[in-house]
Amino acid sequence: MKNIVILGSTGSIGTQSLDIVRKSPDMKVLGLSAHHNIELLEKQAREFKPQMVCAGTEALAKELALRLADTDIKVVCGTDGMCTLATIPEAEIIVTSVMGIAGLKPTIAAIQAKKNIALANKETLVAAGALVTKLARENGVKILPVDSEHSAVFQSLAGLQSPKQLRRIILTASGGPFRTKTAAELKNVTKEMALKHPNWSMGAKITIDSSTMVNKGLEVIEAHWLFDAAPAQIDVVVHPQSIIHSMVEFIDGSVIAQLGLPDMRLPIAYALTYPDRAPISSEFLSLADIGTLTFEKPHNDVFPALPLAYEALKQGGTMCAVYNGADEAAVAAFLNDKIAYTAITDVIENAMASYTNTAADTLDAVLNADLWAREFVASHI
């Protein structure tokens, strides 16, 4: 029996993780958390009967406790509550699918408690990659990527005998809904247009990030920390069909790719069952039916968020935390109709240009940089 905790259980990754648990009699859920959707969290709690659940605020936790008063499920709240869930003694693997920087503290708590991490919260490594990977090494913890791209790289590197054999990592990107648009055309993009991804079903924030290519920028930074690859070893190629999820190239010119249908349950299941695999899918890839796979270079002149991510990674320190924090704040502003679509990347660029970089050697330094970025965005919209 594998005991798991899911942080962010009502979101896209969380609900799909529970789909996998339903098909896996050897998995047991010990903890679930949600920010505000306590209606769904209550349903999940009654179905999976965890030891503990966590709501985002004290008020929501009190309401949830009343709803679950006929059970023996403990209810906690906030970041401290998520940290408590992440350190349940019997838990073996923690799925961190909380959105944004909010996932950082509970992930660190889980690592310090020697829990393996199924990482769907890319902001954790983007903002605090040096700290998190150092802690994972010290505690003998595996960080198993849930993002389809990083899971593909992880799987493709399975036969790697030495890091010196790796030439480069090639992350694929769908290009999002505006792949063929010009910079002028992007000025007319509405919220409704940006939320329609051509291939994937994701949450609102990730869908917007995919359309701006920020998501791919975050993945470049995350790949650097996950696979100890230099920025120059990480390339991005646009692959509109989203069948090849990523590739690795070795020094002899061989390229190994991981392919599959665009279904997030596949990388989630691999992280939860690693090193085994589970028959969780009833639909299988048919290349003959797909017919054609195409590839393009990223249009960095139209989508400058990707080169900005490389610049943040090059500068190091807390600049990546600023990149991420500015994006989170800018996307929230866009979704609340406060800024135009193209202003998202403008805000990130302005924040990076205005920031005095510092070392990312403590959690406080990372969180202070994130706060600075959010305050910068708030004062410039």
Q: In the chain, what are the domain boundaries?
A: 2-145, 150-191+216-299
* Residue 197 scores a pLDDT above 80: no
Gyration radius (Cα) of the chain, Å: 20
Do the strands 166-173 and 27-33 form a parallel or antiparallel pair, or are they unpaired? Answer: unpaired
Classify residue 67 as left (phi > 0), alpha (psi -120 to 50) or beta: alpha
In the predicted model, what is the mean pLDDT of residues 200-205? 72
Identity at 364, one-letter amino acid code: D
What distance in Å separates the CA atoms of residue 119 and residue 137, rounded to the nearest whole number? 15
pTM of the model: 0.93
Give yes or no for residue 200 having a pLDDT over 70: no
Q: Each residue of 23-66: pLDDT tens digit? A: 999 999 999 999 999 999 999 999 999 999 999 999 999 999 99
In the chain, the N- to C-terminal Cα span, in Å, equals: 50
Top pLDDT among 322 and 123 is at 322
Q: CB within 8 A of 276, min separation 6: which ones?
A: none
The CATH code that applies to domain 2-145 is: 3.40.50.720
DSSP lists the bridge partners of residue 96 as 7, 119
> Which single residue is written with the structure tokens 């059970």?
71
The model's pLDDT over 117-144, given as tens digits with 9 standing for 90+, comes to 999 998 899 999 999 999 999 999 999 9
- The tokens for 69 are 């008063």
The pLDDT of residue 201 is 60
CA distance 190 to 192: 5
Query: Which token pair is 238?
Result: 């646009």
Residues 322, 327, 330, 332, CA torsion sign? negative
